[in-house]
Amino acid sequence: MSDYSQRFLFDDTDIRGEIVQLEASYQGVVADHQYPSAVARLLGEFLSASVLLGSTIKFDGRLVLQARGDGELNVVVAECRHDGSIRGIARLGETVDGQDFAALLGEGTLVMTVEPAVGKSYQSLVPLTGGSLAACLEYYFQQSEQLMTKIWLSADNHRAGGLLLQQLPRQLVMDPEARVRQWEHAVILADTTRPEELLDLAAETLLQRLYAAEPIRVQSPSPVVFSCSCSVTRTANALVLLGKDEVDSLFTEMPEVVMGCEFCGKDYRFTRASLAEVLLAGEVPH
């Protein structure tokens, strides 16, 4: 399997880990966009991070990471749904030749949204800081939760990958000093991972290399695929958001309005009548 996330647990410690590797799904996201190489790699890191963080969501829903700064990119978005499907996009400014996180994104905000299929979504905001997406996310966990979390991300133009370690609430180990010792030990070993190992080594091989002396349990991998969540109803609703006057004038100018999905490139075509039909159908309770 080339696209998957895989959880592992250390026996006798309250630490969990997650590994993600993306290839076809990452290629699917960047295909047809002609992103500069550094932008594609940054998007690869966002996609990997969305899977690592999304892997903790147990309900039907999605996790979205969105960065907006004053750098060369207007926005970067990556989304992972609970079924392992991902999508993402980078919107470029006028000139893009930056090679790293700081130049591409500048100063701004990273927004993490967790959106259940039913119920209220919640958002967390964190400044674009520390010179990498991993540093931003670690800062978020430091600020907002008591769970120690470390993230390593990597991407070339073919593959993207990542590793997450997270301390779990006290359950097996009660001694605070032992908890700190175990956590630091796990992190020091994970810190020896080279970026290319996150891309080249299968999860089990990497874990064997890092934690040969530790008893760990590796769960079975979950597949990750590129799949867009756009739909005719969502697109119709987005069209309506332009306002009644604007929509009226569009249909006066042309018989058919085409709305393209910027994530997957799919075109949705509406006539005045078909738009009304979709909106009406959308109002019927399931």
For Zn ion, the binding residue among 108, 264, 279, 282 (CB under 5 A) is 264
Site string for Zn ion, 200-239 (x = CB under 5 A): ----------------------------x-x---------
Q: Which is nearer to Zn ion, 42 or 89 (CB)?
A: 89
CA distance 236 to 198: 40
* Tokens representing residue 153 in the block: 């991300």
Q: How far is CA 110 from the centre of its chain?
A: 12
How near is the Cβ of 262 to Zn ion at its closest, in Å?
A: 8
Helix locations, 69-194, DSSP H: 101-105, 133-144, 176-190
Q: Report if residue 49 touches Zn ion, rule: CB under 5 A.
A: no
How near is the Cβ of 232 to Zn ion at its closest, in Å?
A: 11
Count of positions on this chain that bind Zn ion (CB under 5 A): 6
Query: Dihedral of the CA atoms 62, 68, 74, 80 (nearest 10)?
Result: -10
Interface stretch with Zn ion, choices 12-20, 91-99, 208-216, 263-271 (CB under 5 A): 263-271
Query: Dihedral of the CA atoms 246, 263, 44, 6 (nearest 10)?
Result: 120
Q: Report if residue 263 touches Zn ion, rule: CB under 5 A.
A: yes
Q: Report if residue 4 touches Zn ion, rule: CB under 5 A.
A: no
**CA proximity to 63, closest of 269, 224, 265:** 224
CA distance 184 to 156: 29
How near is the Cβ of 79 to Zn ion at its closest, in Å?
A: 11
Interface stretch with Zn ion, choices 31-39, 97-105, 214-222, 265-273 (CB under 5 A): 265-273
For Zn ion, the binding residue among 110, 136, 261, 275 (CB under 5 A) is 261
Q: Which is nearer to Zn ion, 4 or 226 (CB)?
A: 226
Q: Which is nearer to Zn ion, 32 or 245 (CB)?
A: 32
* Tokens representing residue 211 in the block: 């934690």
Amino acid at 191: D
Q: Which is nearer to Zn ion, 87 or 179 (CB)?
A: 87
**CA proximity to 232, closest of 187, 196, 281:** 281
**CA proximity to 78, closest of 106, 112, 109:** 112
Residue ranges that bind Zn ion, judged by CB under 5 A: 228, 230, 261, 263-264, 266
